[in-house]
Structure 1
Amino acid sequence: MDVGELIQAIQTLNTEDAFRPRLDAAQWRLFTQYLTRHELTSGQALVTQGERDRTMYLLGQGSLQVHVTGGAPGTSRIGIMRPGAICGEPGLFADAPRMAHVEAMTPCVVFALRLPRFEEMAARTPAVALEVLRAAGAVMVQRTRINLTRLVPSA
């Protein structure tokens, strides 16, 4: 899998919490230069709840499962991510413990954007970095809304 396939997956993902940076073709090429490609085997952890990690991940291939520990019975599984989804985006905003576990359900290809590389991108191409940050923040807002809706009964 190459970054072109990742971009296609991001642009075609049809979910409420899709990552939607407004980048042109040249800006996409700049952005993807700051990503590192990783392969995961089925069952391999990508993010561990409670650990600190300043990395955002973009799923290129496969599926990821998101779950938490310590919650009420039956509330541990949060969701499944498909190609084009992002996870770990709070790591770009704050140095805080991870809120959930993320693991590969199938073999996966993920692309990592680590904080030092993001900061380098911000120094070299601030417009691209700002748009990536805006889009990642929008994902966090939408996921917060979705989770609050699940917790608050409708009247």
Structure 2
Amino acid sequence: MDGNELIQAIQTLNTDDAFRPRLDPQQWRTFVQYLTRHELRAGDLLIKQGDRERTVYFLGQGSLQVFVTGAAPGASRIAILRPGAMCGEPAVFADVPRSANVEAMTPCVVFALRLPRFEELMARVPLVAAEVLRAAGAVMLVRQRSNLSRQVPAA
């Protein structure tokens, strides 16, 4: 899987919380140059609740489950993410502990945007970075509202 396939997955994901930056084809190509590709096996933990790590991930292939530890029985699973989904988006905005775990349910390909690379993107291509921030904020807002309506505790 390469950056073009990730772009296709992002653009075709049909969920309320889909990452929807308004980027033209050249801006998309620029954006994916700042991502690093990683493969996960089923059961691998991508994000650990409580960690303070400043990386945002985009799922290219496979499925991820988002869950919290210490929740009431039956309330621990928050979401299942499909290709094209973004996860870990609060890390773009603040140095706060991760509020949930994210685990590979199947073999996955993810693309990481680490904070130093995002800061480089902001310095070199501020219009693309601003659009990524806007779209990540929209994802975070939709998820926050969904969690509030389902009374999922925020960590």
Give 1:127 deviation, angstroms.
Answer: 0.1
In the comparison of the two structures, how many residue pairs are matched?
Answer: 152
CA distance in 1, matches of 2:44, 2:18: 23
* Percent of aligned pairs sharing the same letter: 74
Deviations 1:19-71 (A, max 9, x none): 00000000001100100000000000000000011000000000001000111
CA distance in 2, matches of 1:12, 1:141: 20
Superposed structure 1 runs of 4+ greater than 6 Å apart:
none
Q: Find the counterpart in structure 1 of residue 6 from structure 2.
A: 6
Gaps of 5+ in 2: none
Q: Find the counterpart in structure 2 of residue 61 from structure 1.
A: 61
Tell me the TM-score normalised to structure 2 length. 0.97
Alignment of 1:4-153 (within 5 A): 4-151=4-151
RMSD (CA atoms):
0.9
Tell me the TM-score normalised to structure 1 length. 0.97
CA distance in 2, matches of 1:70, 1:141: 24
CA distance in 2, matches of 1:151, 1:109: 31
- SS of match in other structure, 2:72: coil
Give 1:151 deviation, angstroms.
Answer: 1.7
CA distance in 2, matches of 1:71, 1:77: 9
Give 1:148 deviation, angstroms.
Answer: 0.9
